[in-house]
A and B are shown apart, each in its own frame.
Chain A
Amino acid sequence: MTAPALQIDNVSHSFGAVQALKDVSLTVPQGGFTALLGVNGAGKTTLFSLITRLYSNRSGTIRVGGHDLRCEPSRALARLGVVFQSRAMDADLTIRQNLIYHASLHGIPGRLARPRIDTVLAQVDLADRADARVTALSGGQSRRAEIARALIHRPDLLLLDEATVGLDVKSRAEVLALTRRLITRDGVSALWATHIMDEIDPADDLVILHRGEVLRHGPARDIAGAQGLTRAFLDLTGVAP
C-alpha cells in the first residue's frame, strides 16, 4: 500500500505559554488536494514550519511519503516543495539563477537543472521572464515563480502557505488553477493553506484549523452541508472567515 503524501499524527507546538497547535492530526493522500482553512493566527504557518523542519517537532509524528521527519529528515524534505507566504527568492538574482540555486540545494547539477527550468517556467507561463530579476516581477508572476522554484526538484508534495495572499482576484485564480492543474496532470499532492473560502472547491478535501485545533476534516461538500461553507465555518469557529 502506498503511504500518504503527508501524515500528521497528534502534533502539538507551543511558544512559551502560548499553545499554537493542539494535538493536530491530518492526512494528505497521494495525488490529492487538501485545503487547510483557518483565519489568521489559526496555526497554519506554525504547522507548515513544523512540516518543513524550520521548527522542531517535539510531540507527535510527521511523515512525508512514509518517512518520519525526525528519523529521516533528508528523505522527507527531498519530497517537499514549499511555497511560503512571503517571497523566498533572492532579489539580487534572476529567476533562472534562483532556480539553479534551488536545484543545487536538492543536489541537482546545472546540466540537469537547465532543461527542467525551461519546463517548469513554461508550466507556470514564465518562459519569457527567465532572465528577469525577481524584483522586476508583478505579484502574480512572483508567486508563479515561487511555484516553479518549489517544483524544480519534482517533489511529491507541494505545501502552499497562503500562496495567493496580496494578489488581485485574477492572479489569485490563475495561481490556484495552476496548482490544481499540476495535481491533475503530474500527480503531485498539495496542502493548500488559506483563509479565503472562494478558493475551496466542493470536491476538495478540507481541514478546518482554528486556534491550533483541527475542528473538521473531510470533503468540503460534506462539511458545508446545505447551509454553505461560510455558514458552516461560522458555526464551527464563531468567527467570520
Chain B
Amino acid sequence: MTPPTAHARGWLTAFLGIARRETLRFVNQRGRFLAALVRPLVWLFIFAAGFRAVLGLSITPPYQTYVLYEVYVTPGLVAMIQLFNGMQSSLSMVYDRETGAMRTLLVSPFPRWFLLGSKLIAGVIVSIIQVFTFLAIAYWWGIRPPVWGYVAVIPALILSGLMLGAMGLFLSSAIRQLENFAGVMNFVIFPMFFASSALYPLWRMRESSPLLYDICRFNPFTHAVELIRFALYLRVEWTSLAVVLGCLAGFFGAAVFMYDPQKGLWARRKGGPA
C-alpha cells in the first residue's frame, strides 16, 4: 500500500478536504457569518460616527490628506474580522478536541505541521470572504480606497490572517476546556485590539501615555493593521511586514511544537489524548 504522502495529489486532496470542511462548517453556521459582519459594521456605522466628532485626524501615512475617522478605522476593522476569525478557529480546535473530532485529523498519515497548516490556510480563506463582504458594505458607506488597493490588500490579508490564525492555533493548544475560552477574550483579544492602531493613530496614544504607546508599538496586531492599511492604499509598510512574518513563524512553530506527540503539551497530557 503506497501511503498518500508519496504523491503530490495526496497532499492536495488532504488540503482541499480540510478547506472544504472548514468552509462547510462556516456555511452551516450562518450565525457565525452574521456575527463576524455585524461586529465591525457596528463599529463603522455607530462608533465611528460618534468618534468622528471627538477624534480629529491629521495627515497620517499612508493617507495623503485629512481623512474621515470612518476611513481611518476601516483597516483596523478588517484586521478585527481576522482577529476574531483566528480566535474562532482556535475555539473550533478546542471544540473539536472536546468532541473527539480532532483525533480523526491527528491520526491521518500526513504530518501534523501540514494538517495544522492546512487548517490555518482554510481559516484564512474564510476570513478573506468575510473581509471582502465587509469592504463591499463599507464601499457603499462611502469608504473607497483605490481600486487596485482591493487587489494589493490580498497578500496583506493572507499574511495577517495567517499570523492571527497561528496565534489562535497556539492558544488552542494551551486551552484545556471550552469554558476557559472566555479568558482568551478578556486577556488576549480585547487587549490586542484596543492597544493597537486599529481605532486611533499611535501618535495620539503617545500624547496620553508613552508606556501605552510602546505597548501598542510592540503589539503584533498593530502591525497586522498597518500592513493592511498601507496595502489598501498601495504601499508597503516594511517594518510591519517583517513583524507579521516573524510572528507568523513564531506562533506557528510554537503551535506545531505544542501539538507534537513527542514534545509538546500532548506528550505531557494525562487522560484522553484528544
Which residues on A are within 8 Å of B, measured CB to CB? 15-16, 18, 45, 49, 52-56, 65, 73-75, 77-80, 82, 84, 86-93, 97, 100-109, 149, 156
Contacts and interface: CB of A to CB of B under 8 A. Distances in A.
Nearest to B19: A104
Contacts of B29: 92
Contacts of B7: 107
> Which of A74, A79, A103, A149 counts the most B-chain CB atoms under 10 A from its CB?
A74
Given A54-B107, A90-B99, 17 more contacts: A49-B273, A54-B103, A55-B267, A74-B4, A75-B1, A78-B1, A82-B103, A91-B99, A92-B25, A93-B24, A104-B17, A105-B17, A105-B105, A106-B4, A107-B13, A108-B4, A108-B13
B101 A73 contact: no
8 contacts: A53-B106, A56-B261, A56-B267, A88-B100, A89-B101, A101-B21, A104-B14, A105-B18
Contacts of A90: 21, 25, 96, 99, 101, 104
Interface of B: 1, 3-7, 9-11, 13-14, 16-18, 20-21, 24-25, 28-29, 96, 99-101, 103-111, 115, 260-262, 266-267, 270, 272-274
Those 5 A-B pairs whose CB atoms lie nearest each other, nearest first: A104-B17, A107-B4, A107-B10, A54-B273, A15-B270
Nearest to B10: A107
Nearest to A156: B1
The majority secondary structure among interface residues of chain B is helix
A197 B10 CA distance: 41
B123 to A, nearest CB: 15
B109 A149 contact: no
Contacts of A45: 272
A92 B95 CA distance: 12
Given A80-B107, A104-B20, A109 B9 contact: yes
A77 B109 contact: yes
Contacts of B260: 56
A92 to B, nearest CB: 5
Contact of B261 (A18, A55, A87): A55
Contact of A87 (B10, B99, B111): B99
A101 B1 contact: no
Contacts of B104: 88-90, 101-102, 105, 149
Contacts of A86: 100
Contacts of A101: 17-18, 20-21, 104
